[in-house]
Amino acid sequence: MHFSRRGLLAASAAIAAASSVEAKPRAAGEPAWTPDATEIAGRIRRKEVSVVEVVEEAIRKAEALQPRINALVTSDFDRAMDKARGGQLSGPFAGVPFLIKDLDPYTGLPTRYGSRSSMGAGPETAQTAFVETYDRAGLVVIGKSTTPEYGFLPTTEPMGFLPTRNPWNLKHSSGGSSGGAAAATAAGIVPFAHASDGGGSIRIPAANCGLFGLKPSRGRMIEGRPHGRGIDLSVAHVVSHSVRDSAAMFGASERTAAGSPFKAIGVVTKPLKKRLKVGLLLETGMGQKPDAEVVAAIEGAAKLMASLGHRVEPTSWPIDGPQFGRDFTALWSTGAAELVAGVSKAMGRKADASVLEPFSLGMAELVASLKPGDIEAAVGRLQATSKAYDDWLTKYDVILSPVLGSPPVELGFVSGDVPFETLQARLMDYVGYTPVQNVAGAPAMSVPLHWTASGLPVGVQFAGRAGSEKMLFQLAYQLEAAQPWAHRKPPTSL
């Protein structure tokens, strides 16, 4: 690891709209401990600070904090400084430092995928259309953020690299698979960062690190990495300190071309005015209650929603939880089977634990043990789950639930070297709330509304029907004003 020092017409209208959003005062409450991306961009436009100064400061923080939290897998400091000095930046976030998650290619940098199997990777010569939107927004990429092996786990502890640590408590996980993005943002290295979510990977690290994280609807954003599963689970966006940063970047990267599945919403700037019917969900699909601190977080959020005039009532999962868990695991494991097959072919021998993690190998073995037609049957049942979710959301405007079954776990608890069956059981308890929205293609967000007595963040999930991002952003603004979080500073931060 080195630590020294492109065009999409579809996004043009959204970026122009986002560019007009000037930095406005935050919600009432204690002052933010660090400026968000909107504020930094505003200071640059007003010439209160130069891009060079801003990028130099981000690099200084990265160099100082990297040995403690390990949020970057590759730095790009020299090119970032060249870009800062070039003076040709434009867009809503011109000059703001940024990180790309190391599951997506970025021109000029290697993509490691959190895996020892990619240690010798050379620099990429192209990048996805979605990553292009970050360049168009004027962001200055200072490096790539850490991720677990191929994004498979909800913690960022790849065996080929050092673990990424949570800035709120260095013994705990920052989450995954966007754990490096969340740790770097929470610690103040960058004001927000690229993230992606195939089963909770935006919402989980946001919850663990006290950040705001919204997972968009399937098909909402400009196209990113191709997928090979029977259902397209993964979508990309950012993790951020503020709602307005997430909303502005959403406006700059949503699809606006003809044929898009949803009408573009642009940049949402105002809080919710209407009252919502809220379904309150506490137990997992397996019927298990979460940790007491998570219960406290959800009950507190329910009271907050009621105080804001929303009607909250208990609800229950519209699905067969155990069957859903088995089907999602089978579908998720097909990615590992493809990985093992690809690495084996490239090596000329069967991939083993010298190049891939035990959990990746275990998922591939699970797929190999299935009978012909089992995956297709699982996909069929998951698609039926999607319809059940849609029907459920005709009764409610939004579902309020935990993001995770507990506050951030300690490092090692759900890492890839835990025995396969033990790890599967732990994952069912820990991450039972987030994959449903990926299967349904629906948006959901983690909002940082609770901290434990020991100072660990606990995110609260709000999920809607497909295409309801405008309502979720408006609700997020309302919650941010009612119960601000921007003043909270992690112990490990600058």
- 135 found inside a domain: yes
Percent above pLDDT 90 for the chain: 90
- 493 found inside a domain: no
- 194 found inside a domain: yes
Beta strands in 344-422 (DSSP E): 398-402
Question: What pLDDT shows up at residue 29?
Answer: 61
- 291 found inside a domain: no
Question: What pLDDT shows up at residue 223?
Answer: 80
As a whole number, mean pLDDT of residues 33-39 equals: 98
Nearest to 450 by CA among 465, 464, 460: 460
Strand order through the sheet with 457-463: 192-197, 235-240, 212-215, 444-451, 457-463, 398-402, 277-280, 311-314
How many domains does the structure of the chain reveal?
Answer: 1
As a whole number, mean pLDDT of residues 473-494 equals: 98
As a whole number, mean pLDDT of residues 228-245 equals: 91
Q: 83-103 pLDDT, tens per residue?
A: 999 988 999 999 999 999 999
- 461 found inside a domain: yes
Q: How confident is the model at residue 333 (pLDDT cuts 50, 70, 90)?
A: very high
CB 79 within 8 A of CB 97: no
- How would you class 24 by CB atoms within 10 Å of its CB: exposed for 0-12, middle for 13-18, buried for 19 or more? exposed
Question: What pLDDT shows up at residue 252?
Answer: 97
Q: How confident is the model at residue 292 (pLDDT cuts 50, 70, 90)?
A: very high
Q: Per-residue pLDDT for 2 more than 60? A: no
Range in 22-31, 145-154, 276-285 with the lowest mean pLDDT: 22-31
Q: Per-residue pLDDT for 297 more than 60? A: yes
Which sequence positions are flagged as catalytic? Answer: 101, 177, 201
Q: Per-residue pLDDT for 71 more than 60? A: yes
Range in 12-21, 88-97, 207-216, 223-232 with the lowest mean pLDDT: 12-21
Q: How confident is the model at residue 3 (pLDDT cuts 50, 70, 90)?
A: very low
Q: Per-residue pLDDT for 443 more than 60? A: yes
Alpha carbons 23 and 433: distance in angstroms, whole number: 34
- 392 found inside a domain: no
Range in 153-167, 214-228, 359-373 with the lowest mean pLDDT: 214-228
Q: Which residues contact 14 (CB under 8 A, 6 or more apart)?
A: 251, 252, 253, 254, 256, 264, 266, 267
Q: 126-181 pLDDT, tens per residue?
A: 999 999 999 999 999 999 999 999 999 999 999 999 999 999 999 999 999 999 99
Percent above pLDDT 70 for the chain: 93
Question: What pLDDT shows up at residue 91?
Answer: 97
As a whole number, mean pLDDT of residues 43-66 equals: 98
Question: What pLDDT shows up at residue 6?
Answer: 28
Mean model confidence pLDDT for the chain: 93
Query: What DSSP string describes 97-145?
Result: EEEEETTS--BTS---TT-GGGTT---BS---HHHHHHHHTT-EEEEEE
As a whole number, mean pLDDT of residues 375-380 equals: 97
Question: What pLDDT shows up at residue 285?
Answer: 87
Q: Per-residue pLDDT for 245 more than 80? A: yes
Alpha carbons 399 and 205: distance in angstroms, whole number: 20
Alpha carbons 138 and 15: distance in angstroms, whole number: 10
Query: What DSSP string describes 184-212?
Result: HHHTTSSSEEEEEESSSTTHHHHHHHT-E
What is the identity of the amino acid at 316? S
Q: Per-residue pLDDT for 18 more than 50? A: no
Question: What pLDDT shows up at residue 431?
Answer: 96
Q: How confident is the model at residue 8 (pLDDT cuts 50, 70, 90)?
A: very low
Unique residue bearing structure tokens 């990619």: 118
Q: What angle do CA 193, 198, 200 make, to 5 degrees?
A: 70
- 253 found inside a domain: yes
The boundaries of the domain holding residue 192 are 9-274+445-482
Mode of pairing for the β-strands spanning 457-463 and 235-240: unpaired
- Coil, helix or strand for 166? strand
Alpha carbons 302 and 305: distance in angstroms, whole number: 5
- Coil, helix or strand for 461? strand
CATH number for the domain harbouring residue 189: 3.90.1300.10
Question: What pLDDT shows up at residue 30?
Answer: 75
As a whole number, mean pLDDT of residues 273-302 equals: 96
Question: What pLDDT shows up at residue 229?
Answer: 58
Q: Per-residue pLDDT for 274 more than 90? A: yes
- 413 found inside a domain: no
